[in-house]
Every structure is written in structure tokens, then in C-alpha cells.
Amino acid sequence: MKSTWFFLLLACSLTCALDQEFVDEFLEKMQEFGAQCAEETDATSDDIAELIARKLPPSTHEGKCMIFCMQKKFNMMKENGGIDRAGAIAALKPLQKADPELHQKVLKIFVTCGMRVKPSPDPCDTATELALCGKKEAEAIGLEDALLT
């Protein structure tokens, strides 16, 4: 489920550059939250497979809602579909300690996408647009090869 969350996808996918304790803790959270979100959204195994394969946008509404759910679990989005800026900054603290340079890049992506993506009436669509923006911005600053391979 690394791709379910536009922002921490960046950190998670660069695990080779991060210390093992950070990676292990992050992946543990991803698994825990992923299981919770699959149940909460009624996502199918096909929905989850698409997300693991980094297919954006997901082909189903449930897949999109998995992204929203993961963003909520990581305090990146609020229940009402708005961006949780304070929650996102707090969520990035461990990354700041693990890799300050990567933290700055990820923070820049978060700020850029937070300003660019307009809220949709359906928060699952907003979350998906944030994920798409995050992927595009990562590619634009040269993180794409490390992130998506």
C-alpha cells in the first residue's frame, strides 16, 4: 500500500537511504493502517493490488477511498476532506530526523500539492488528486526514479 498515500509514499519508497528503524516503523504503520482502511472502505483485493502496483488513479471508488483513509490515518487529511497541515507537519517529524534533505523535498511536494489541489465534494477524489499531484511533483524534482522503481 505504499502508493495509497501521496506524501509518505515518497518517504517509504526511498527506504534504501533511511535507517532501518525508521523504515521498519513506517512499514509497520502502513500495514496496520492499510488493513484498517481496507475494512473501512470495503476495498477488494483487486483495489489493494492496484494500489500496491502504484496504479493512479485507482479504477474504483473504493480504491480512491483507500487513499483518503490512509491520508486520514497519517493525519494528512481531515475527516471532512480538508488538508490537515498541522497533522502533516507532525507526521513528517520522524522523516526530518531520519533524512533532513528528503524531508525538505517531501515538505515542498506537500505544500505545492496542498495549494494546487482544490477540494472536491467527495474527499476520496480530493485524496486521489493529491496522490496524483504528489507523484507528478516527485517526478518534477527528480525523485521519480528512486520512488517508482
pLDDT at position 20: 76
Nearest to 98 by CA among 4, 6, 8, 3: 8
pLDDT at position 73: 94
The yes-or-no verdict on residue 17 having pLDDT over 70 is no
Cis peptide before 57 (omega within 30 of 0): yes
DSSP 117: S
pTM over 0.75: yes
Query: 32 Cβ partners below 8 Å, 6+ apart?
Result: none
Query: What average pLDDT does this structure show over 69-94?
Result: 91
User: What domains can be seen in the chain, in order of their start residue?
Assistant: 2-148 (1.10.238.20)
pLDDT at position 54: 83
The yes-or-no verdict on residue 12 having pLDDT over 60 is no
